Amino acid sequence: MVTEIKKTSWVAALSILLVVCLIPAAVYAQGSGPSDDEVNAVAKQLYCPVCENIPLDACGTTACEQWRGVIRDRLAEGWSEDQIKEYFVAQYGDRVLAEPPREGFNWVVYIVPMVIFVGGGVLFITGIKRWRDSGQDRTLRRGGKKVPEPDKLSDDDIKRVEEELLKRSKG
Amino acid sequence: MKKILLWGGLGLLLLFLTIGLIRSQKGQVSVGEIAPDFELISFAGESYQLSEYRGSVVVLNFWASWCDTCKPEAKDLEAAYQYYRSRGDVIFLGVDYVDTEPEALGYLEEFGVTYPNGPDLRTEISQAYRVGGVPETFIIDQDGLIAHVQIGPFRSLEDILLRIDPLLD
C-alpha cells in the first residue's frame, strides 16, 4: 500500500514537472513573432501595388509575400497598424490603401457616389410623383368629369349673400 | 435650377471619367518628349536630380527584385555602365519599382550592380514616366529628351550599346 502511494506521488510530481517545463516553451513559441492572423489583419487593409484590386492578404505573388514579410518584421519591432500603413504609403503611394485618405482630389471618391445616390433618389421620387399626377389627370379626362376649380367669392358677393340671408330670416 | 444642378453634376462625372480613361490609355512617355525631371535618393542615401545631367546621356532603368525578366539584363546593364564609365558622359540610374529594400539590396549584390540605384518612393518616378511594368528603360539624350524607350529587357550588352552609341559624339 505504501509502495503504491509512493508510486502515485512520483507520477504526480513528474507530471507537474512536465507541465511546468512545457508552459514556458509554449509561451516562448507564441511570443516568437506575430502570427499569420496578425499579419493578415494589417495586410487586408492594404492593396497589392502591382496587381490591381487584390488585397495584400489574398495575393499570391512573390512581391506580395515580400510585403507581408515586411509587415511581419515591423509588427515584431512593435510598430502599430497605422505606422505600418504610413510606411507603405510613403514607399508605394496612396494606391496601396484600401480606403484613400480623405483629402484633396480623393474626396471625389467619397462625394460622387453620394451625389449619384441622392440625385437618383430625387429623380425617382419626382418621376413617381409626375407619373401619379398624369395618371389622375388621364382618369378624369377619360370619364369626362374634370372637376372645375371652385370660383372664389369676392368680399362684395359674401356681403350680398349675408344681407340676403338676413332679409329672408326676418321675412 | 434643379435641372442645371443635375446636368452639371452629370457633366462633371463624365469629365472625371474621361480624364481617367485618357490617362490610363496614354502609355509610356514616348520618344521626342521631354523626360520628366525627378530626384532619386539612392539606397546609399545620395541624391540624383535628372535635370543636373543635361549634356550627358542618361540610362534610366526601372526594375524590381521580384521581376524575373529583369534579371537577365541586370548584368548587361552593369557591363554597359562599366564600358562607358571612363567617358563620364553616360549616366546610369536604376529605379527600384514597388519593392522591399532587403530583397532589392540582395538583387543588386547578386548581379554585381554598382551604378546608383534607389527606391521609387510613392511611385512618383514611375508615374511620371507612366511605367506599365518592369523592366522598362528610358534612354535620355543630352538635351533631356527621350531618345529610346525599351519595353521589356534588353537582349544583350550589344543591344544596349546599339541604343547609346548613336547619341554620343
CB A146 within 8 A of CB A140: yes
Domains and CATH numbers, chain B: 29-167 (3.40.30.10)
- Cα–Cα nearest to B93, from B57, B54, B127, B130: B57
Report the helix count and the strand count for chain B, using DSSP H and E. Answer: 5, 7
Task: Tell me if chain A has a CB within 8 Å of the CB of B8.
Answer: no
Residue A169 half-sphere exposure toward CB, CA atoms < 13 A: 6
Task: Give B9-65 pLDDT, tens digit per residue.
Answer: 778 778 877 877 776 667 779 999 999 999 999 999 999 999 999 999 999 999 999
Is the ipTM reported for this complex over the cut 0.90?
A: no
Provide the pLDDT confidence category of residue A141 given band limits of 50, 70 and 90.
low
- A96 and A110 assigned to the same domain: no
Q: Which of residues 24-63 of B touch A (CB under 8 A)?
A: none
Out of A103-107, B72-76, B128-132, which region has the weakest mean confidence (pLDDT)? A103-107
Closest B-chain CA to A92: B122
d(CA A81, CA A86): 9
- Domain span at A127: 103-139
In a domain? residue A49: yes
**Same structural domain for residues A55 and A83?**
yes
Q: Which of B6, B64, B121 is nearest residue A119 as measured by Cβ atoms?
A: B6
Domain membership of residue A46 (yes or no) is yes
pLDDT value of residue A14:
60
A44 & A83 share domain: yes
